[in-house]
Each structure stands twice: as structure tokens, then as C-alpha cells.
Amino acid sequence: MDLGDLREDYRRAALEREALDADPLRQFGTWFDAAVAAGVPEPNAMSLATVDTAGQPSVRIVLLKGVSDGDFVFFTDYRSRKGRDLDANPRAALCFHWHALERQVRVRGQVRRLEAAASADYYRSRPRGSQLGAWVSVQSTPIPDRDVLVADIERRRAEFGEGEIPLPPHWGGYRLTPADIEFWQGRPDRLHDRFLYTRTESAWDCVRLSP
């Protein structure tokens, strides 16, 4: 197969400035709801890009778990590669791709840890197996085999019994406060519609970008 022959012509919709909300967070909510209504699998899946102390970027898929007070919220092990990256360089980029709608949203901004009480509230809402998993996995570190995880989760299951599983001290949420948000709508002949919102002191500026 010649990868150069793999291409798709986008023709679903156009995007005009007058159709966009003045607030990009509201616009994101409108597009997110459309992705849910269209049956997009895991519409809250997003690429999260971070950079380490040597300037080496890393990217992975994580799940958006809320938009709160204008911030994008996600959760992870603070000891993971992304956690270490964010400790060293608290900036990140997100990308949502909803292929069925021929849309992308890109977000960049500052990141800080979520308040502990909010992390605990979300942690308690997770399935019990996922709560145990957060105690067992030292995310991103090498392990000899899967048996190590299985044995450790059984040990933790016995330790906590049927009682409440506490929030691990090494696990919790992050808030990304957007500095800019871009909305991308696929168009024919690769002449895509792109609009970039940039935060100002009092509002948001919005400009059309060349595809």
C-alpha cells in the first residue's frame, strides 16, 4: 500500500466566523455535544502533549473529565512521565479529533494540579477496580511481567476489604487553563476552515487562519 494514496476529501460542513460563539469554551461545549450526539467513540479522548526538562516532547491519549471554571480537567498518576513533565514544565497542549464530524479542537495553556478535594470526589466516582489500579500501578515504570500487577492488586483488595478505598497521594487531577483554542473544520481541497481564539486581559480575540 502506498501511504501517499491514502487521503480523504472533507465535505461535511463549512465554518464561518459569524457562526462561532464569542466564548471559545461555549463553542467547545457546542462541538462536544455534537460529537456525543453523532455517536463518536470516546468523544472526550484527547491527545495530551508535554515536554520534559531536555525539551523532548511526549504525546499520549487521555480522557477529558470536565470543563470547570474555564479549565480542561484530566486525571493521572503524578509519578507518570506526563506528571514529571508537568512538574518541570507546567504547560501542555491538547487535541480533540472527531473524524465523523471532520473536526478538530486544539488547546494550549498553563497547567496546575487540581484541588485535592476535587480529585478525591472524582476518585470516589470511579469503578472500584480502577480505584485499586491507581494504588497498584507506578505508571510509566518498567515491570518484569503482568503477574506483578495481578499479585499487587489482590494484596490491595485484601488490605482495603469492603471499605472505602482512599485517594492515593500520588494520584489526582490537573487543570489546563487555555491561552488559545483553535477550531478546525475540514473542507474540500485541503482548504480547511480554522479559527484561533487567543485570551486577552478581558476577553478573547478570534482570527481566521490560513489552512
Q: Across the chain, which distance is largest between two alpha carbons, in Å?
A: 60
CATH code, domain with 89: 2.30.110.10
52: in domain: yes
Strand, coil or helix: 123: helix
190 is catalytic: yes
- Residue 27 CB neighbours (<10 A): 20
Condensed to tens digits (0 to 9), the pLDDT of residues 107-133 reads 999 999 999 999 999 999 999 999 999
**Closest to 108 measured CA to CA, from 2, 33, 180:** 180
Q: Give 6's pLDDT tier (boundaries 50, 70, 90).
A: confident
State if pTM tops 0.75: yes
For 3-142, where are the alpha helices, taking DSSP H only? 24-37, 81-88, 116-125, 128-136
14: in domain: yes
Residue 188 main-chain phi, psi, to 5 deg: -60, 155
Model confidence at 183: pLDDT above 90: yes
Residue given cell 470516546 in the structure block: 42
Catalytic residue among 12, 26, 155, 190: 190
Condensed to tens digits (0 to 9), the pLDDT of residues 192-206 reads 999 999 999 889 999
Owning domain of residue 104: 9-115+174-209
Quick one: pLDDT at residue 2?
87
**Closest to 93 measured CA to CA, from 79, 78, 72:** 72
102: in domain: yes
141: in domain: no
Q: Give 4's pLDDT tier (boundaries 50, 70, 90).
A: confident
